[in-house]
Amino acid sequence: MPGLLETTTHTVELLLPELEAIYKDLHQHPELSMQETRTADIAANYVEKLGYDVTRHVGGTGVVAVLRNGDGPTVMLRADMDALPMAEATGLPYTSTVRAKDEEGIEVGVAHSCGHDMHVTWLMGVAHVMAAHRDAWRGTLMAVFQPGEEVARGARSMIDDGMFDRFPKPDVILGQHVMVGAAGTVGYRSGTILSAGDSLKVKLFGRGSHGSQPQTSIDPVIMAASTTLRLQTIVSREISPRDSAVLTIGALQAGTKENIIPDDATLKLNMRTFDEDVREYMLGAIRRICCAECVASNAPREPEFTTLSSYPLTINDAATSERVREAFESHFGEHAYETDPAAASEDFSIFGREWAVPYAFWFVGGTDPEAFRKALEAKKLNEIPSNHSPKFAPVIDPTLRTGLEAMLCAAGAWLESRDDSA
């Protein structure tokens, strides 16, 4: 019996122009985390017309679409929908010019600079193909369009909204992400594929004064600067070279005028780790250093710590990953490869962790293959605009096709009808 991809090749080919139009529309109309109303409506309306049982507003703007097709495994496919609070600088004819207010009421540019518009388009395409070829598979397909990945709240909000009670428990959960890499390739991995990510806001308190009278102040700017430098020693002096970790101070905010010493300063920092013990140690070290610097500065009170986001490690199940690998290598040949772990983070794994379901996550290359080859040969891969760069822009062809085929391929590893007599 032909495999799912072989059966659906013609449908995929005919579908690509429609999906390209959808992708460009989503790209031009990005929405911030937990505000993805338009995107969710587009996805929900599309799959509902295909015959899926669609539930909207799960965990806010989340969409769960279920297609039952006889006895067999239940496979959950997930795509995240949200965009980033940043202006786009790709120069594409379908560039986003959207501006919106974030949760703090600040107006920001909005752009799909992480590729979630591609993820939504892929899943819509997979839903279309699977509905059109019910005779090629059996089981239950659950397509999940998730909000709020960029703020690490979307998966949790869907779970807290009764997702596990309202929908069938899957036998496997599958997801993918467009990344820097030659378009047309897929990168799989067993075990850890994405780091844990923790973001904190630390408010340091001083005593304000006139810039001409520093002796009457407790300067939080100096405090913040010293803290910033000292925090960098956690990775360089307290973490073993055998362990991988990153700590970045992404924002230092203090004051309004050059001759005013402010009352407080705020640091916003992000850390990535690949080991739970290292993660816990670093979180403790951050608190220790911040508190110690405040004591050294004679601060009037201890710093205030706020968790902005927290992502667990993404650790692919070994047996699930092996089945995905076999499917990818069978279909993509040399264009499927074992990838290294990435120091990026996702809340995708929360579904599998909380539901006690095996999961697998993989990467789909989105870089022009020739541009990637030249950068690789010149050892300048770091110069390719990556996810979260204002210039990040996956090439549509063949990225759109590859991601669609990859998800169909992986889903088919569970759902394909097989000749039991063979």
CA angle 229, 231, 237 (to 5 degrees): 100
What structural domains and CATH numbers belong to the chain? 4-193+313-415 (3.40.630.10), 196-310 (3.30.70.360)
SS3 90: coil
Q: Confirm or deny that 177 is annotated as ligand binding.
A: yes
Q: What is the pLDDT along the chain (422 residues), one digit of tens a residue?
A: 357 888 888 899 999 999 999 999 999 999 999 999 999 999 999 999 999 999 999 999 999 999 999 999 999 999 999 999 999 999 999 999 999 999 889 999 999 999 999 999 999 999 999 999 999 999 999 999 999 999 999 999 999 999 999 999 999 999 999 999 999 999 999 999 999 999 999 999 999 999 999 999 999 999 999 999 999 999 999 999 999 999 999 999 999 999 999 999 999 999 999 999 999 999 999 999 999 999 999 999 999 999 999 999 999 999 999 999 999 999 999 999 999 999 999 999 999 999 999 999 999 999 999 999 999 999 999 999 999 999 999 999 999 999 999 999 999 999 986 544 33
Residue 104 among known ligand-binding residues: no
Contact 194, 342 (CB under 8 A): yes
In this prediction, residue 417 carries a pLDDT of 66
Task: Give backbone dihedrals phi and psi of 332, rounded to 5 degrees, phi first.
Answer: -95, -15
Distance, in Å, from the CA atom of 223 to the CA atom of 240, rounded to the nearest integer, reads 27
Question: How much is the CA Rg of the chain, to the nearest whole Å?
Answer: 23
Helix (H, G, I), strand (E, B) or coil at 148: coil
Distance, CA of 416 to CA of 3 (rounded, Å): 7
Burial class of residue 307 in the structure, from the number of CB atoms within 10 Å of its CB (0-12 exposed, 13-18 middle, 19+ buried) = exposed
The interaxial angle of helices 116-132 and 4-28, nearest 10 deg, is: 140
Alpha-carbon distance of 351 to 173, in angstroms, equals 8
Scan for tokens 């990556």, then name that residue.
386
Dihedral, CA of residue 180, residue 184, residue 188 and residue 193, to nearest 10: 10
SS3 107: strand
- Match 């998966």 to its residue by tokens: 155
Partners of residue 154 on adjacent β-strands: none
Query: 121 near 81, Cβ under 8 Å?
Result: no
3-class secondary-structure state, position 252: strand
- The answer to whether 57 is a known ligand-binding residue is no
**Sequence letter at residue 35:** Q
- Dihedral angle sign, alpha carbons of residues 79, 21, 384, 368: positive
Q: Are 135 and 66 within 8 A, CB to CB?
A: no
Strands 186-188 and 196-205, how do they pair? unpaired
What is the structure's pLDDT at 242?
94
What is the rounded distance in angstroms from the CA atom of residue 187 to the CA atom of residue 339?
A: 5
CA distances 412 to 285, 319, 330, 409, 415, Å, are: 46, 16, 12, 5, 5
